[in-house]
A = this chain, B = another copy of it.
Amino acid sequence: MRRSVFFISDGTGITAETLGRSLLAQFDHVEFEEQTIPYVDSPEKAWDAVRSIDAAACDEGRPIVIDTIVNSELRQIISKSKAFKLDVFEAFVGQLEGELSTASSRAVGTSHSMDSQPDYAARIDAVHFALDNDDGARTRHYDRADLILIGVSRSGKTPTSLYMALQFGVHVANYPLTEDDFEESELPAALRPFKKKLFGLTIEPGRLAIIRRERKPDGRYANLAQCESEIRAARSIYVRENIPFLDSTHLSIEEISTRILATVGLKRRLA
């Protein structure tokens, strides 16, 4: 079973995509062909979208449209397509207007807009913090870190620290645990003063070997026994030092990041 799906927005399309994908994930035996049409902010563009939608109708059923357009004139144009349409603003904005006893501004796409300059600056600052303090390259700014991720090479530290910086504006450093660290009976010197900021990542050895093989196919680095030994050593540091940790194997970057925030009770820096 197959259906075309269109995420239609007058802004970035991120809300329509995020909500739409959550809903469609509930129908895992249907194969959805997704397309996002962002920045539909004029009648011409709305009619273009209608043509694209109608061209996607097929024997297996009409297209599905998830629409977050704010302007009612443009929404009405989209309604003229042959699609089955979920109208997000119609479903919820009226209810909120009632609850708040006030009219909505009906303004386009303000949620991802960044005329909130302090937030923008905080985000950029967090991204550069993550980059400057990636992979143990520098350890002298750990006093400014909200969190220091530790784990063996390719356990997910870098993507997680960048995601947390971009989405939550938190300052996340990361430090790779290597064989030198495993031979010691205490934490690496750079980490010792910041024990409360540490969070460990672990991963299944088989999965790690596959990821490492993509990067460096030959040598000990991607060898399964090597991966097993490093992971076991890292895990015993977490247990010995009482450091909270998480297995990243079956989690997305979003899940790893939000679970860490929830576990350590870290506040987001972005509004």
Chain B: minimal CB distance from A228 (Å): 20
**Which of A119-127, A178-186, A193-201 is found at the contact surface with chain B?**
A119-127
A12 and B258: CB pair below 8 A?
Answer: yes
Are the C-beta atoms of B86 and A92 separated by less than 8 Å? yes
Which stretch, A47-55, A109-117, A231-239, touches the partner chain B? A109-117
Q: How many copies does the complex hold?
A: 2
Interface centre among A11, A26, A111, A254 (most CB of B within 10 A): A26
**Cβ B120 vs Cβ A252 within 8 A:** yes
Other-chain contact of A158, B84, B99, B128 (Cβ < 8 Å): B128
Cβ A14 vs Cβ B18 within 8 A: yes
Chain B residue with the shortest CB-CB distance to A91: B91
With A18-B15, A22-B111, A25-B111 as known contacts, state yes or no: A166 contacts B253, CB within 8 Å.
yes
**Chain B residues near A214 (CB-CB < 8 A):** 121, 125
Q: Is the CB of B114 within 8 A of A255?
A: yes
A246 within 8 A of B: no
Complex contact B121–A64 (CB within 8 A): no
The interface centre, meaning the residue of A105, A112, A125 with most chain B CB atoms within 10 A of its CB, is A112
B86 to A96, Cβ gap below 8 A? yes
- What are 11 A-B pairs at a CB distance below 8 A? A3-B100, A13-B258, A14-B258, A15-B19, A18-B18, A21-B111, A26-B93, A28-B107, A38-B258, A86-B92, A112-B254
